[in-house]
Structure 1
Amino acid sequence: MALLAFGAAGWWWVNQPLRLPAATVDLSVEPGTLPRAVVQAVADAGVEVDPGLLYAWFRLSGQGRQIKAGSYELETGITPRRLLSKLARGEESLRAVTLVEGWTFRQMRAALAKEESLKHDTAGLDDAAVMALIGRPGQHPEGRFFPDTYAYARGSTESHLLERALRAMDKRLQAAWAERSPQAAVKSPEEALILASIVEKETGRGSDRPLVSAVFNNRLRVGMPLQTDPTVIYGMGAAFNGNLRKIDLQTDTPWNTYTRPGLPPTPIAMPGKASLLAAVQPAPAKALYFVARGDGSSHFSESLDEHNRAVNKYQRGQ
């Protein structure tokens, strides 16, 4: 009956495209906003519409009270009918941000800070304060977030996105730990996460990950220092200028695996799924050494003599 009361002219109007001030218009509806205020927000956004007529449509359709809070994108060609449907269904406009495998927490925060559609509620907070804000007080942030592409609604907060990435890493790490093999020398999910971050930084070649993991698991098993450059670089922080020197390998930090035995105290980057699995499923190999061939792959050796020959061949051209 309500639609009949609206009349034929009104029905024609609800199916006519609205005039927008641009190709797309952003519309934000806060929780608890009444239909009349939503209509006003549409007009305030620059949409050429008769607020009284639009409000009448919202009321008579029976969907006005179903409008959901959120961030919406109104596109060219949208009609009053489509507008109300979008708002009632909660079809929010989504943005996406990609957290890259191997990024540090500092790099991730810098990427989020550039997302104009996010609310930067972590701006000005140090790392410890950020972790407290997302419910992990006292936990070191490095490596705790799963690298992936995350869709979010315009106006979402950085802290909410971080919480999602944090829960995703918890889930991925738990799943990987449940699939660990007898060859794994890591003794806990925490150790697996740390080792996975090292594997992530040591190679981007999928086929080499289990072998790189085997080297480090084998070294952990026999008590050999890991001696992995990425941990040294991480421990240097801002002091690293792109050139790793012998003195750097000899300068002790908590993350220097040349001067300290075992795994470093924290992860050194965000490991992806493949590195998490490699850390707990090392290849059944006896290798204790590896060296880059220069083509993205590595040569793996069981003895120091073989390793030295590989270094001469691939690094020194001898």
Structure 2
Amino acid sequence: ALAALEAGVHCLRLNPGNIRRPEHIKLIASEARDRGVPIRIGVNGGSLDEKLYQKYGGKVTPEAMVESAQMELAYFEEVGFNQVKISVKASNVPLMIEAYRQLSEATDHPLHLGVTEAGPPPAGLVKATAGIAALLAEGIGDTIRYSLTADPVEEAKAGRQLLEAMGLRERKGLDLIACPSCGRAEVDVIKVAGDAQDALEKLNLPIQVAVMGCVVNGPGEARDADLGIAAGRQKGHLFVKGQVVRVVPEPEMVDALVEWAHKIADEGIEGALAQADAGAAAEADADRAALLDEQGADANASEQRVDLIRKNLLG
């Protein structure tokens, strides 16, 4: 830690479970104070001080982690150092959440959120998001870190996407929403959504785009998206803020999304809507009506499926 300070680092992390002698902790804090370098007290459930581990029954508890952070903070305060943020990370998500909740009640210092050793994606992404998002939704946390067994770029990307999804950061890139497919789907939604994401991410535009599998429900369900496409009868209904602006052949759907994403970026939503094809809305209405006639109101055959499930359960 002292060598890092000497080398000119801009921030330092100390794990109370690794550097335990009070005189060493206070020496580091004093050097950081004199250099104006902030420190993160980084408690880790996997390296908790043995004395605290035994005090709390030979297991890692939220109370033990919070006490570890408070003990470290007390050493800092003895030398007049208060440029501090704190983390109490664990690989167990419920443990991590409760530790941060208790810590937020015990201190006003900034809190750095993370699920340590979350592992590789996709499971690691799920674990990290479960812990971080739960706390952010409660108003707890000031900075975040995804600790994934992956390229650090993927960690930063995940963090940015989470903050954008929660409305805590202005969107700077693509937000693609897509339906999970159903009995009305007229296209391979997974493939179209993947192709659209690959094509649109390259544009680096702050835009929300929807890929919907049917023209019956798609435009209405995704009406708040800036731009979207819904498939039906070998066509794609292109819509802007829920209004159909063009009907294109199915193979041209992704290209149409790219074209209109540029229109929205260059001319805004109103400018794009002003360029809607005159007959697009009427053609889209006709396609929806035809599909409803063909498929009926219950394209998923829900009643028959429920009856079949009941018969199987009852033997």
TM-score (ref. length: structure 2):
0.29
Question: Which structure dedicates a bigger proportion of its chain to strand?
Answer: 2
